[in-house]
């Protein structure tokens, strides 16, 4: 009798556990539905497409496809590939310009839609031409790759602006929006890197780059469906003045020691971290005594890194073949290095990201933050160019890798140099504001009727007044 009474209770427990598991599976979809109800479904879909598909999958596929395109189609040396890869990323350096355009130059009464359409169109045209034309001249190929990168950068800045606007309108959902952006980007990169090697193997590097027209087409769709208010009575005569105000405000902020010293540290810490990944890539795939990794293996290595350097000596162990002496396969060493490198790089970058958010003066927060992120790209480009020069100096070519170990050693030692310039970082309580009070005064309530026209005027006038007072 006891067993019969206990059976329904046990069945109810099992049913409850199954329902709970089912609810856990559906919880992400419920979360997305709630965000869609609060923020509009077109915005949530735009975040998924731009961050997840265009940036996550697209940039991952672009990275692997471009590496093979430079090596196999253009027959470049590793040092040359480094220089050209840095040039391809140039549109990301001028992100503040794209940000200013989307903020103060509306087109047909819209500030976001036209720029999504423009970004997607430029990328689609560039990638289709690149994938279809045979024996393309290097200069034209480089121009098309830069245009594709520009399209991705403009789309990134535009969706950033949409996220910022919704964060201001719905402050209680700001954290969830950032979580959505980060989740989409991470999942997209993982899918992109996993599929990139397979696509390059099946349809070649040109075909893989042609596939990038699909994410770009979806960005155009975002520009068509995303909801935004229409701006009426736009005064284009003040655009020039707005650009001048923006440049003046940023220059005033950069003259402050509490701003330029951390900015200098950010640039130098990235610039001295020499990048020689093209030399390693050529050695991974072409060296007679190297691992001879396939396209699929290269893509999966990058995928592990996306889930996961300062431990650059791991590369040295690999190139000197020490790992084979102790019986550790090449693939295991490279995968471990990718995971550790990305993990430590993220840990190194997070404090700089927090510091950057504290360096943005009131009134030009978005534009100035984009400027700080541009410093990151300038530092990375410098590291790439210097790394290419190092490979050229040491005569590391498509077929000669005798001095690659020395390049790895020099790179690893250079990564210790930022320790000597830590004095540029302000040493204070992390809960205390870094900027002077006159740069942090809120402008709420000032010029609410024309926020776009007065966005930077208060900062300029306040800082000019402070400068005159200090000169006296």
List, for residues 5-39, the tens digit of each pLDDT value. Answer: 555 656 555 555 555 554 444 566 777 788 888 88
Phi (first) and psi of residue 300, to 5 degrees: -70, -35
Return d(Cα 174, Cα 181) in angstroms, integer: 11
CA distances, 422 to each of 202, 264, 342, 343, 380 (Å): 48, 11, 22, 21, 19
Give the model's pLDDT for residue 298.
67
- 123 falls in which pLDDT band (50, 70, 90)? very high
Return d(Cα 79, Cα 379) in angstroms, integer: 18
Q: How far is CA 400 from the centre of its chain?
A: 33
Sign of the Cα pseudo-torsion (308, 312, 313, 315, in order): positive
- 146 falls in which pLDDT band (50, 70, 90)? very high
Sign of the Cα pseudo-torsion (95, 99, 105, 108, in order): positive
Q: Find all residues with CB under 8 Å of 219, minimum gap 6, and list them.
A: 49, 50, 54, 116, 119, 120, 123, 151, 155
Return d(Cα 258, Cα 158) in angstroms, integer: 29
State yes or no: pLDDT of 354 exceeds 50.
yes
Give the model's pLDDT for residue 463.
37
Phi (first) and psi of residue 110, to 5 degrees: -125, 140
Return d(Cα 452, Cα 456) in angstroms, integer: 9
* pLDDT winner (highest mean) among 64-78, 170-184, 230-244: 64-78
Residue 274 backbone zone (phi > 0: left; psi -120 to 50: alpha; other: beta)? beta
């Amino acid at each position: 009798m006891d067993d019969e009474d206990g059976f329904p209770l046990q069945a109810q427990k099992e049913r409850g556990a199954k329902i709970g598991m089912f609810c856990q599976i559906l919880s992400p979809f419920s979360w997305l539905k709630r965000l869609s109800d609060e923020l509009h479904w077109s915005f949530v879909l735009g975040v998924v497409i731009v961050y997840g598909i265009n940036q996550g999958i697209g940039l991952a596929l672009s990275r692997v496809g471009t590496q093979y395109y430079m090596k196999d189609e253009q027959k470049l040396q590793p040092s040359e590939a480094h220089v050209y890869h840095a040039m391809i990323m140039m549109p990301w350096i001028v992100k503040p310009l794209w940000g200013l355009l989307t903020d103060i130059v509306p087109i047909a009464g819209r500030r976001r839609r036209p720029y999504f359409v423009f970004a997607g169109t430029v990328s689609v045209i560039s990638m289709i031409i690149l994938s279809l034309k045979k024996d393309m001249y290097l200069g034209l190929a480089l121009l098309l790759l830069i245009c594709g990168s520009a399209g991705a950068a403009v789309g990134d800045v535009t969706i950033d602006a949409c996220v910022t606007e919704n964060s201001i309108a719905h402050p209680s959902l700001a954290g969830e929006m950032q979580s959505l952006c980060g989740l989409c980007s991470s999942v997209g990169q993982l899918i992109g890197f996993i599929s990139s090697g397979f696509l390059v193997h099946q349809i070649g590097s040109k075909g893989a780059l042609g596939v990038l027209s699909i994410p770009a087409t979806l960005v155009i769709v975002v520009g068509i469906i995303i909801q935004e208010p229409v701006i009426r009575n736009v005064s284009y005569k003040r655009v020039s003045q707005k650009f001048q105000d923006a440049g003046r405000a940023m220059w005033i902020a950069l003259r402050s020691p509490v701003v330029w010293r951390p900015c200098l540290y950010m640039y130098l810490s990235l610039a001295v971290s020499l990048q020689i990944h093209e030399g390693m890539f050529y050695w991974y795939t072409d060296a007679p005594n190297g691992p001879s990794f396939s396209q699929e293996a290269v893509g999966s290595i990058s995928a592990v890194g996306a889930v996961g350097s300062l431990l650059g000596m791991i590369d040295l162990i690999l190139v000197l073949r020490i790992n084979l002496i102790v019986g550790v396969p090449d693939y295991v060493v490279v995968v471990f290095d990718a995971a550790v490198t990305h993990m430590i790089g993220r840990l190194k970058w997070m404090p700089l990201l927090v510091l950057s958010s504290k360096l943005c003066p009131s009134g030009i927060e978005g534009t100035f933050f984009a400027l700080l992120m541009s410093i990151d790209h300038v530092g990375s480009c410098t590291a790439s160019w210097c790394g290419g020069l190092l490979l050229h100096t040491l005569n590391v070519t498509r077929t000669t890798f005798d001095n690659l170990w020395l390049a790895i050693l020099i790179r690893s030692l250079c990564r210790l140099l930022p320790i000597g310039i830590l004095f540029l970082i302000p040493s204070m309580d992390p809960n205390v504001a870094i900027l002077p009070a006159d740069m942090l005064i809120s402008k709420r309530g000032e010029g609410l009727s024309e926020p776009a026209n007065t966005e930077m005027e208060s900062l300029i006038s306040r800082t000019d007044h402070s400068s005159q007072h200090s000169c006296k």
